[in-house]
Amino acid sequence: MANPGFRIYTKIDRPDRALVESFRGLPVANIGDTINRSFIFDARIRRVSKGSLLGTAFTVKTRAGDNLMFHKALQMAQPGDVVVVDAHGDCTTAITGELMMQDAARKGLAGIVIDGAIRDLASLREMELPIYAAGVTPAGPYKDGPGEINVPVSIGSVVVRPGDILVGDEDGIVVVRPGDAAETLEKARKKHAAEEATVKAIAAGTRDMAWIDKELKAKGCEFIDDVCP
């Protein structure tokens, strides 16, 4: 019998690991710029630990304040997966802490992203496992369900599907659809190379900034050679 809202899909399509690894080291900002500044989690979702995030999404949808399905997801997820938890952005109750995150690290997971709250912050800050969350509170969770695993979820205003590629650094997280990954990777590499060249030009004092006045004039900005009356 169907039970929408309380079910687990046991299989997902993961992209080729070599393709995922190709994004390692690329700044999230550069990747986001190449996909029209879309698919970027909003600023509520912040990194609370060490390490940069790179892996494939293993999604979880929980009831606010409940982590039963999150526990099951950690049991099911594979090395290289990023467990992504839609906890409805609720920060009144933490749905994970040090013990669960130690389990996740031991399994070789690539990271944890929670649109909700965590606790045991002092311990989590020292972990190499990349952990992102929307907030912190000492209040503990319930374990009643319902929830779903490996369905599309909403995290930080972005829809994440099982198998999506997630790249994260100190700025935040960007989602890359596997079907767009090869082209996005090429564009992001070019963007990153161009920015590195700009940094060198700034250091050398040779950066051309003439584009600013050109853009202003093209947009109709009025230049008045006088003081404001």
Measured in degrees and rounded to the nearest 5, phi and psi for residue 209 equal -110, 15
98 is in an annotated binding site: yes
Cα 51 from Cα 122, distance rounded (Å): 16
Strand-pairing partners, residue 57, are 82
119 is in an annotated binding site: yes
- Buried b vs exposed e over 2-20: b needs ≥16 C-beta within 10 Å? eeeeeeeeeebebbeeeeb
14 is in an annotated binding site: no
26 is in an annotated binding site: no
99 is in an annotated binding site: yes
97 is in an annotated binding site: yes
Residues belonging to the chain: 229
Please report, for residues 78, 165, 183, the alpha-carbon distance to residue 12 in angstroms, rounded to integers and kept in the order given. Answer: 11, 13, 22
Instruction: Let me know: does 138 contact 26? Beta carbons within 8 Å.
Output: no
Annotated binding-site residue numbers for Mg(2+) = 120
Annotated binding-site residue numbers = 97-100, 119-120
Annotated binding-site residue numbers for substrate = 97-100, 119
